[in-house]
Amino acid sequence: MSQTTFPVKKILVLLILLVVPGSVYYLLKAKGENRYRPLSIYGPKQPASTFHTKRGKQIRDTLYHEIREFKLLNQNGDSVSFPVDSAQITLVNFFFSRCPTFCSDMNREMARVAKINNGNRLLRFLSISVDPEYDRPDVLKAYSQNYRTENPKWDFLTGDRKLIYSLAKQDFLVDAIQDTTRELNFIHSPMIVLIDSKKRIRGYYDSTGGNEKMNLLVDEIRVLMTEELRNDKGR
């Protein structure tokens, strides 16, 4: 019986030695590449007049949609510029302090992501009010105390209504509308928007989508950070 079992054991060992390295290579190579594939770039795009070379071929560059530079006031009455820093990734959402629906849940989700990334020097958080006449800096200061303790690099912004609504629609490509037929009815997006250091939109995440959407956001922040660091070795 021992003569029969020995070859079987030997064959199993050989199979393990042959199969396992190949499986590990596949997981590290193929799956690894999929996991860290660059995120999509959202918004309108058009061909540029410049080219780059890839594998000996000239490929036309692409001009991607970018968020314009702007300034708004934060909860302390200080002027905050976008981009805050040319080397940073930014998370942006639109809300208002008197919101009777999903705003508190949206900012709780932002707070959860902010807490996970507390101390991350590459990431900023901006929450922009769509009710700027009421949401003055002092109002936002009181409101932000419920959330901002999770991360000091989180600003709650207010300013000119026309600018804010224009930014929402034309730059961040989300809704921001006041329904004048009803009191306290501001129609705005529940999306949290991920912006890279080049001011391009890299992701939309539905704050009403539960843990699955927010976990995806946390993962894709890491993917984008990896991409940013690979593109700028000196940062």
Select the more confidently predicted residue: 35 or 128.
Answer: 128
pLDDT tens string 80-92: 999 977 789 999 9
Residue 139 has pLDDT above 60, yes or no: yes
Which pLDDT score, from 0 to 100, does residue 8 have?
Answer: 57
Chain position carrying tokens 């109002």: 139
Residue 61 lies in a domain: no
Which residue blocks in the chain are alpha helix, DSSP H?
A: 2-26, 32-35, 103-116, 137-144, 161-166, 211-231
pLDDT at 198: 95
Q: Is residue 60 a part of any domain in this protein?
A: no
Burial of 102 (0-12, 13-18, 19+ CB in 10 A): middle
Kindly state whether residue 98 falls inside one of the protein's structural domains.
yes
pLDDT given for residue 7 in this prediction: 63
Q: Could you tell me if residue 222 is inside a domain?
A: yes
**Count of domains for the chain:** 1
Tens digit of each residue's pLDDT (9 = 90 or more) over 153-206: 999 999 999 999 999 999 999 999 988 777 778 999 999 999 999 999 999 999
Structural domain of 200: 67-231
Residue numbering of the annotated binding site for Cu cation: 99, 103, 188
**144 within a domain of the structure (yes/no):** yes
Q: Can you give the pTM of this predicted structure?
A: 0.81
pLDDT of residue 26: 39
Please report, in range form, the residues annotated as the binding site: 99, 103, 188
The domain that holds 177 is classified in CATH as: 3.40.30.10
The answer to whether residue 219 is domain-embedded is: yes
Residue 49, in any domain of the structure: no
* pLDDT higher than 80, residue 77: yes
